[in-house]
Copies of this chain bind each other. A is one copy, B any other.
């Protein structure tokens, strides 16, 4: 048997989500995930450090993509538009992945420990965005406020996208939510 398995990572992720939904996250073992995917535990651990990482491996990619987009934004872009564009760029990575994202969210919603992990992920994202806005030369208090606000918009947009009945793109929902925030805070 070849050590390389076609799309092992995707198969493990799919099997894990199925099992977490069926039995609960805490009740699922790595052995069961590997078996459901038709792979070995050893293969599992070549792709993921543990069963929690199956749900959170995208975090580093998220932070890297978003901070790179902020760094590449034109100097003329306002901080809020620079982060808005970065989050929209990230949103495009979810094209065709809504069903997957919904299943992942249902698993997280059922487990307080995973919810905490998700909150920490969003806090890390805000900190990374604030740092990158600071590198662009923004004054420190404004960069933090922009970054925390952007994460608030992202969080709400993500929930809206998951619960929307019609087929829609996450990037669009993020853009709409940002426009809505501007309307909410304008002229009051």
Q: Which residues of A contact B (CB under 8 A)?
A: 78-81, 115-116, 119-120, 123, 141-142, 144-146, 148-149, 151-153, 155-156, 159-160, 177, 180-182, 184-186, 188
Contact = CB atoms under 8 A, between A and B. Distances in A.
B145 A188 contact: no
Contacts of A116: 116, 119-120
Contacts of A159: 144
B78 A181 contact: no
Of A144, A145, A153, most B-chain CB atoms within 10 Å: A145
A168 to B, nearest CB: 13
A185 B148 contact: no
A98 B97 CA distance: 46
Given A116-B116, A141-B160, A156-B144, A79 B151 contact: no
A186 B188 CA distance: 11
A160 B141 CA distance: 7
Contact of A149 (B123, B142, B153): B153
Contacts of A146: 184
Contacts of A160: 141
Nearest to A119: B119
B141 A148 contact: no
Contacts of A145: 152-153, 156, 177, 180-181, 184
Contacts of A153: 145, 148-149
B142 A148 contact: no
A49 B148 CA distance: 32
Nearest to A157: B145
B155 A148 contact: yes
